Structure 1
Amino acid sequence: MKKWFRIAMMSLLIVFLIIPITACTQQEKKTVKTVRVAEVTRSIFYAPQYVALSKGFFKKEGLNIELTTTWGGDKTMTTLLSGGADIALVGSETSIYVYSQGTNDPVINFAQLTQTDGTFLVSRKKIDNFSWDQLKGSTFLGQRKGGMPQMVGEFVLKQHSIDPHKDLHLIQNVDFANIANAFASGTGDYVQLFEPTASIFEQQGKGYIVASFGTESGHVPYTTFMAKQSFIKNNKDTIKKFTRALYKAQQWVETHSTADIAKAIQPYFKDTDIQLIEKVVDRYKSQGSYATSPILDEEEWNNLQNIMNEAGELPKHIDHQTLVDNSFAENVIDK
C-alpha cells in the first residue's frame, strides 16, 4: 500500500512540475511578436540589420522579423503607408515628403542605421588619377529624382563646381532596380552604385570605383527605421525591443573585425563571395557609414534638409522633433 502511495505521489509531483513548464512554453510562444520590415534594397550597407538577425538579437527580444526587400524609396514608403509593413528601412527624406503632402498619421524616424551616403562613383574606364572635373561633358547614369542617392550625388557634384544639369548628360529615368543592368549594358560613362554591386563590377571589369559619395557628403541620416505614428503609439514595447536589438548589433559591428561581420551577414548575400563581402564591409566601416547608435541627431537632420534644398527637392523645412523620436534609442542606450 505504501509503495502504491509513493508511486501516486511521485506521479502527482511530476504532473505539477510539467504543467508550469508547459504553461511557460505556451506563454513564451504567445509573447513572440511578428514585425514586418520593408527594406529599400538589399545591401551590405545595412550590415548591422543582418547582424541583428543572424546573431538572434531580435529573437532574444521576442521579435520575429519578416524582412522584405521592396527595391526603391517610393515603393518602400508605399508599402508602409498601405499597411504592407510595420516598419520601413529607407531614407529619411521619404518621411519629409509624406509629411509635406499632409497626413494625420505621419511617418516617424525612430532609429538610425547608416550615417553617410552609401554609393560610389563608378567609371566605365579605369582611371589612375581621377579628378571630379573629368566628369564634365560625360554621360552620368544617376539615381531616381528626389531620392537620397541622387540628391547627395548632386550635392557632391556641386561642391566640385559641377552643375549636374548643365555640365553632364544626366540620366534619371531608369528604375532603381535596373540602374546596374543599364550600366552593364553600355549606358553611361559613369554611374552611382551601392555595394556590393560596385565591387562586383570592378571584379568583373565592367567598371571601376573612383570615388565615394559617402566621404564627400558628411553625416546624414541616410537610412533609418521608421513607422507610422499610430503604430509607434500602439506598439511602444515592440519599438523599444526592436531598437534595443538594433543597438546591440551596432555595437557588435563596431567592436568586431570585418571578417567576423562578413561571416555573420553572409547568409543574406549567398551569391556573393565572402572575401568580397569582407572588402565591402571594410570600405563602409572605414568611412564611418555604419551608425554606432540608433540616435538621429539634429545636426544630421538639418544636413539632410540642406542637401534636399540644394537639390530643389525640399518641400518645406521640418523641425527635428516633428519627425524624429529618439526616446526609444536614448532609453536603450542609457540601460
Structure 2
Amino acid sequence: MLKKLGGIAAALALIIPAHLPAASAAETDIKFMLDFISLGRHAPWYVALEKGYFKEESLNVEILPSKGTADAIRGVVTGLAPIGLIDVPSLVASGKAGGDIKIVAAAYVEAPYCVYSLKPGANVTRPAQLEGLKFGSSSASFIPQIWRAFMNMNHLDGSKLEVVNIDAAARVPMLAAGQVDGIDQFLMAAPAIRRAAPGKEAVCLFAADYGLDLYSNSIGVNKSFLDHNPETVRGFVRAAIRGWQYALAHRDEAAAIMVKRVPALDRSIVRDEIDLLERIAINADVRTNGFGHISPEKFAKTFAFINSNVQVTGSKLEADQVYEPGFTPKPPILPE
C-alpha cells in the first residue's frame, strides 16, 4: 500500500505543476533615451510601454528625456542609456565621437526638417523663396548648412540664405512677432506655432518634398551592449515597432496614453503631433518592408550628404561602420 501511495504521490508531483502558473522570466532593465524632452511626437514609445509590449519581451524599460540630440548621442556612447533615439545626420556630424553607436532600425524615414513661416507673412512655399530669407536658426547648429546644401541641389544660391542666430526657445515667439521671416523647426512644431500666432497659418517648406532624401531619428545602440545582448535589442526593437504601429492606428488612444504618462502636456497638441508623425514615419518603403526598415542605399546616401555638406567633428563615419542589419522583425510589422 505504501509503495502504491508513493507512486500516486510521484505522479501527482508531475501533474500538479503543469496546472500552476509558470514563473515569469526575469526582466532585463533597459534605459531608453529620447532625443529631447518628452513631447507628443514621442507617443509611440510610451504606447509600447503602456500596452505592455516591452514586458512581453521580458524588458523593464525606463524612458529618459534628454537635453537634445547631442545629449542623446553622449548618453548612448557612455552607456548611461544603452539604447537611444538617435538623429542619424547628427550622428554623422559628430564623427568619431559617435563611433560607438550602431543604428539598428529607423523611426523617421524622412528627415523632419522644415522652414516654418506664417500666412499671412512670408508664406514660404517654394525653395526659391529661401534666397534672401531672414531665417532664425543657430550658428552652432549644422541645420543651416543642410538648408544651404538643399538650396544648392535645387539650383539656388545657398549663400543668400540670411541666418539669424536665435536660441531654440525664442524662435517661435520671434516668428510670431514678425522679427524673422522663417525659422528652423521640425515638422511637428506646427501646433506650437499655431498657438503662438493665432489667426495665422503655420506653413512648412518640407525639405523631403524637394529631394532631400535622408534618414533621421532612429534606434541607436551602444556597440558593446549590442555585441553582448543581441536578443535583448531584437526584443526592444520588436516591442517599439509594435508601439509605432498601434499609435498611428489608434491616435486618440495614443494621445491619451501620452498625457497619462506626461501630464504636463497639452492633449490637443499631442494629438496634432501624432498626426504629423505619419509624414515622416510612413513612406512607400515602410508600407512594403515594415516599420524600422532601413534601405542600405538610402542610409549610405544620408552619410554621403552629411559628410559632403556639413562640418564633421574629427574623422568621418561611413554608413557601413554604423548600420547593423538583422534587428527588425520578420515578418515585418506593417502600417495598419
Same fold (TM over 0.5): yes
Instruction: Name stretches of at least 5 consecutive residues in structure 2 with no aligned partner.
Output: 1-11
Change beyond 3 A, Cα 1:280–1:98: closer
| Contact 1:121/1:210 (8 A) holds in 2 | yes
Contact 2:131 2:160 in 1 (8 A): yes
- Deviation for aligned residue 1:289: 4.9
**2:45 is aligned with 1:53:** no
C-alpha distance 269-161 of structure 1, shift in aligned 2 (>3 A): farther
Aligned residues: 313
SS in 2 for 1:327: coil
Aligned match of 1:248:
242
State the alpha-carbon separation in 2 of the partners of residues 278 and 79 from structure 1.
29
Deviation, 1:213, is 2.9
Across the aligned residues of Structure 1 and Structure 2, the Cα RMSD in angstroms comes to 3.8
Q: How does 1:106-117 map to 2 (within 5 A)?
A: 106-117=100-111
Alignment partner of 1:39 is 2:34: yes
Per-residue deviation at 1:89? Answer: 0.8
Structure 1 position 325 matched with structure 2 position 321: no
d(CA) in 2 for partners of 1:232, 1:332 = 22
Secondary structure in structure 2 of the residue aligned to 1:277: helix
1:1-335 superposed matches below 5 A: 24-25=22-23, 28=25, 31-41=26-36, 42-97=38-93, 100=96, 106-124=100-118, 126-127=120-121, 130-143=125-138, 145=140, 147=142, 149-150=143-144, 152-164=146-158, 166-172=159-165, 174=167, 176=168, 179-180=171-172, 188-194=180-186, 196-205=188-197, 208-253=202-247, 256-267=249-260, 270-286=263-279, 288-289=281-282, 292-313=290-311, 318-329=317-328, 331=330, 333=332
Conserved? CA contact 1:61–1:242, under 8 Å:
yes
Shift of residue 216 of structure 1?
Answer: 3.3
TM-score, scaled relative to structure 2: 0.76
CA distance in 1, matches of 2:269, 2:42: 15
Unpaired runs of at least 5, structure 1: 1-12
Find the residue that maps to 1:296 and give its secondary structure.
coil
Deviation sequence 1:21-55 (CA, Å, 0-9, x none): 69x55x54xx1111111111234444432322232
Specify whether residues 39 and 178 from structure 1 end up closer, same or farther in structure 2 by C-alpha distance, changes over 3 A only: farther
Aligned equivalents of 1:196, 1:99: Cα separation in 2: 27
CA contact (8 A) 2:108 2:280 kept: no
Answer whether contact 1:45 1:114 (CA < 8 A) is retained. Answer: no
Partners of 2:298 and 2:319 lie apart in 1 by 9
Whether the 8 Å contact between 2:303 and 2:318 is mirrored in structure 1 is no
CA positional deviation for 1:275: 3.7
Q: What TM-score does the superposition give when structure 1 sets the normalisation length?
A: 0.76
| Secondary structure of the structure 2 residue equivalent to 1:114 | coil
Identity %: 16
